[in-house]
C-alpha cells in the first residue's frame, strides 16, 4: 500500500510534468505559426467531421425508410 507522503510526492511529480509539458507546448505553438495553422485546420476538420456524421446519420434513417417503402411496393 502507498503511504500518504509517497502519494503526495507522486502527485507533485505529475503536476510538475503536466505544467512543464503545457509550458513547452505553448512556447512551441507561439514560436511556430505553421503549427498553429495546422492545429486550427485540425480543429476545423474535426468539427466538420462531427457535423457530417450527424447529417449522414439523420439522412441515413430517412433513406432507409424510403428504400423500405420502395422495396415493399415492388
The pLDDT tens digits of the residues spanning 23-53 come to 766 666 666 677 778 888 999 999 999 999 9
DSSP character at residue 11? H
Span 55-69, pLDDT tens digits: 888 888 888 888 888
Strands (E), the chain: none
19 falls in which pLDDT band (50, 70, 90)? confident
The answer for residues whose C-beta is within 8 angstroms of residue 36's C-beta and 6 or more apart is 29
pLDDT above 50 for 1: no
Q: What is the pLDDT of residue 30?
A: 64
Say how far apart CA 37 and CA 43 lie, in whole Å.
Answer: 10
Quote the cell numbers at residue 70.
420502395
Say how far apart CA 2 and CA 5 lie, in whole Å.
Answer: 8
Amino acid at each position: 500500500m502507498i503511504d500518504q507522503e509517497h502519494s503526495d510526492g507522486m502527485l507533485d511529480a505529475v503536476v510538475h510534468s503536466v505544467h512543464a509539458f503545457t509550458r513547452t507546448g505553448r512556447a512551441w505553438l507561439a514560436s511556430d505559426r505553421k503549427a498553429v495553422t495546422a492545429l486550427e485546420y485540425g480543429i476545423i476538420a474535426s468539427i466538420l467531421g462531427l457535423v457530417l456524421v450527424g447529417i449522414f446519420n439523420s439522412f441515413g434513417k430517412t433513406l432507409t425508410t424510403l428504400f423500405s417503402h420502395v422495396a415493399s411496393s415492388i
